A = this chain, B = another copy of it.
Amino acid sequence: MDKIRTAEEVMQNVKSGDTIMVGGFGLVGAPLTLIDELTRQEVNGLTIISNNLGEAGKGLGILLRQGKIKKAIGSYFTSNREVGDHFNIGKLEIQLMPQGTMSESIRAGGAGIGAYYTKTGVGTELAKGKEVRVINDENYLYEEALKANVALIKAQKADTLGNLIYYKTTRNFNPIMATAADYVIAEVDEIVEPGELLPEEIVTPHLYIDAIVKSKLILTREGVVER
């Protein structure tokens, strides 16, 4: 069962109107090659679940400029001022979430948890209209799981089965997004044979991964470069 694909091939799984999770904390741990390919697709009306929406004209910021994003779900859009511009003219819906709630909702989506209660956000503007429940004398907010049609994630190494390991803080949202979408594409810098990753160090077991794409664009000290 060969999961290795090209970016062009896998992006056929993205359709207009889809919800797409995109890993990364800013550019760190972002699937840059897959995002680049996504910007070439003739799709629109996408819902993007990602901590940020790139920077102005970079990464997911290109997709925003192209008008392909209908809604953005994330925790910190401040890094791309164009997000506010699109929102102001009614061209973009925004669902802002505390970063921990966003992470937990993605994990819940992957783990079959329908919803959960967290103390985060209780009594704030982000809690407006949301159910509050008292559990052991404390107020908790009801939050539902997040799921997606497709997840674009980045890992350091994959074996050909799809087992993944991550490099330092590039891990961030990638392992949880790998669990929460119908079709999961892992962009990786290196592909090795099964057995080369130690069973105890594997972070994402292969059952979560549908396709593996070798990275072409990577983040270096000099910025994003083609390798």
CA distance A104 to B110 in the complex (A): 13
A117 at interface by CB-CB < 8 Å = yes
Report the bound CA distance from A120 to B114 in whole Å. Answer: 11
Residue-wise, chain A 123-164 has the 8 Å CB interface mask toward B (1 for contact) of: 000000000010110101000100000000000000000000
Number of copies: 2
> Distance in Å from the Cβ of A176 to the closest Cβ of chain B?
13
Question: From residue 158 to 212 of chain A, which have CB atoms closer than 8 A to chain B?
Answer: 165-168, 198-201, 203
Determine if B114 and A133 form an interchain contact, defined as CB atoms under 8 angstroms apart.
Answer: yes
How distant is A175 from chain B, measured CB to nearest CB, in Å?
Answer: 12
Find out whether the CB atom of B116 lies under 8 angstroms from the CB atom of A116: yes
Inter-chain CA distance A55–B5, complex, in Å, is 50
Closest approach, in angstroms, between the C-beta of A142 and any C-beta of chain B?
9
CB <8 Å contact, B165 and A200: yes
Contact across chains for A115 and B117 when beta carbons are under 8 A apart: yes
- Is A108 a contact of B116 with CB atoms below 8 Å? yes
Given A168-B200, A200-B166, A119 and B111 contact (CB-CB distance below 8 Å): no
Q: A112 on the interface (CB 8 Å rule)?
A: yes
Between A and B, 9 residue pairs with Cβ closer than 8 Å are A113-B116, A113-B118, A114-B117, A114-B118, A114-B119, A114-B136, A168-B199, A168-B200, A200-B201
Binding site for B on A (CB under 8 A): 104, 108, 111-120, 133, 135-136, 138, 140, 144, 165-168, 198-201, 203
